[in-house]
Amino acid sequence: TTPDFDQLTLATVPHYLASRPALRPRIDASALSSVVEVGDGNLNLVFIVRDAHGSSLVLKQSLPHVRTDPSWPMTRERSTREWVVLDTHERADAAHVPALFDFDQAHFVLAMEDLSDHDVWRSELNSGRVQGWAAAEVGRYVARTSFASSVFGLDPLEQKRLVARTVNPELCEITENLVFTEPYIEHEHNAVLPGNEADVDALRRDRDVLREIGLAKYRFMSSAQSLLHGDLHTGSVFVRAESGGRPASLRAFDSEFGFYGPTGFDLGALWANFVLAAARAEALGDPDRAAQILALPAALMEAFEAEFRALWPTRLDARIWADDALEALLGDIRRDAAGYAGAKAVRRIVGFAKASDIETLEPALREGAARGVLRAGRVLILSRLGTDSVEALSATVSRILHE
């Protein structure tokens, strides 16, 4: 009898591999040396499979519910969306995503390159290794993938077909609720230390913050600029520093939240996580490392803008999108990125799915770090009203975190 592949197990993975002709050149299913389940995110099963000849790959299968809360159902169609996003991003920038080997729509399984020789960037930051070079690399990834999937890089008919294929209602709804709504209301998903309750109250009473969050949510829901990764925090980025002649490498993975949205959302997600990492460094008494981390938003945005400018001459229609449109466009994306950075920083302190940067601090340190992130988040959320200089914003964030 054919085993049931509906939810893969260590026992069924070898049979599953044998059933996939596309994977035959990638792995010898009859000579596997190890199968391990390594999924530690909120949603999926992830297996690393190795064979006796030294080949390996990753299988990622979506579960029909949130992994950490089985009572919370979740569409498995997100696998199809991740496949389309990854395939599109691979065409635009193969160097910065895992290679895609196979997609099994019947069982919601993606087979991808094993990147075990890389580390998750958040873990590196938490361990004190900043990997600062990675900020420019990921900025180039966002520039290449956003330009290629936008109307500047794609024929308008093709672009609209891709918009239609990547509509992601259920996962967008998660972001709409968890990032833009729940932190600003009473909700069972929220939890903060008692010492941070007044900080959250102050944010919820701030009418400017509420207006800007509402406008940011509106742009998230209505601005189909480019095919986003959709959840580009430092836990969605693998890094491998240059060593012994082996080049540095960065790969953005886990794009199941991808959809056509505002380009600044992906940039803002990274920026927010730099703020969390800097708050951790400050809490641990390392202001020099915090300063090093707070240089990353500028490195990210500069590399993004430089790459976008370099791609601009290849835009499909220069008749109407003239050169002077470019800087206005980049200014809009920069302002969006700063606002989304604030929203994404706040959600990781107040709402569901917190970040280990702050959560693994002991409570006495966590309270101050959380307060700093909430205050820094407010400045970023309100930044549309003032400066759009990334360096100036980071200088303010630095002062707040150091207080």
What residues make contact with Mg ion under the rule CB under 5 A?
41, 254
Residues found in the chain: 403
> Measuring CA to CA, which residue among 295, 306, 300, 218 is closest to residue 262?
218
Binding at 174: pick from Mg ion, ligand SR1, none (beta carbon under 5-8 Å per type): ligand SR1
178 binds, among ligand SR1, Mg ion, none (CB under 5 to 8 A by kind): ligand SR1
Q: How far is the CB of 240 from Mg ion (least distance, A)?
A: 20
Which residue of the chain is nearest ligand SR1 when measured via CB?
A: 353
Sign of CA dihedral 340, 345, 349, 352: positive
Residue 304 to residues 141, 219, 299, Cα–Cα distance (Å): 8, 20, 8
Q: Tokens in use for 20?
A: 């996939």
Query: Quick one: 45 or 303, whose CB is closer to Mg ion?
Result: 45
Q: Answer with the entry of Mg ion, ligand SR1, none that 353 interacts with (C-beta below 5 to 8 A by kind).
A: ligand SR1
Q: Which is nearer to ligand SR1, 304 or 352 (CB)?
A: 352
Residue 238's binding partner among ligand SR1, Mg ion, none (Cβ under 5 to 8 angstroms by kind) is: none
Distance of closest approach, residue 256 Cβ to Mg ion, in angstroms: 7
Inter-residue contact 270 to 238 (CB < 8 Å): no
304 binds, among ligand SR1, Mg ion, none (CB under 5 to 8 A by kind): none
Burial pattern 135-151, b for ≥16 Cβ within 10 A else e, equals: bbbbbbbbbbbbbbbbb
- The DSSP bridge pattern shows strands 226-227 and 249-252 to be unpaired
Q: How far is the CB of 174 from ligand SR1 (least distance, A)?
A: 5
DSSP state of 243: B
Pairing of strands 44-51, 32-37: antiparallel
Task: Please list the residues that pair with 171 across neighbouring strands.
Answer: none
Pick 254 or 305: Cβ nearer Mg ion: 254
| Nearest alpha carbon to residue 114 among 31, 64, 48, 34 | 48
CA distance 238 to 242: 13
Q: Write the DSSP symbol of residue 185.
A: S
3 phi, psi to nearest 5 deg:
-65, 160
Residues that bind ligand SR1 (CB under 6 A): 42-43, 66, 174-175, 178, 231, 352-353
Shortest distance in whole angstroms from residue 31 CB to ligand SR1: 35
**Which of Mg ion, ligand SR1, none sits in contact with 349, Cβ below 5 to 8 A by type?**
none
- Residue 66 or 326: the one with the smaller Cβ distance to ligand SR1 is 66
Report the partner that residue 134 touches, choosing among ligand SR1, Mg ion, none (CB closer than 5 to 8 A by kind): none
199 vs 254 by CB, closer to Mg ion:
254
| Residue 241 partner contact from ligand SR1, Mg ion, none using kind-dependent CB cut-offs of 5 to 8 Å | none
Task: Give the shortest CB-42-to-ligand SR1 separation in angstroms.
Answer: 4
Distance of closest approach, residue 360 Cβ to ligand SR1, in angstroms:
17
Instruction: State which residue has the least CB distance to Mg ion.
Output: 254
Give the span between the Cα atoms of 23 and 17, in whole angstroms: 7
Closest CB to ligand SR1 among residues 41, 139: 41
Residues whose CB falls within 8 Å of the CB of residue 165, separated by 6 or more in sequence, listed in order: 84
Nearer to ligand SR1, 111 or 343 (CB): 343
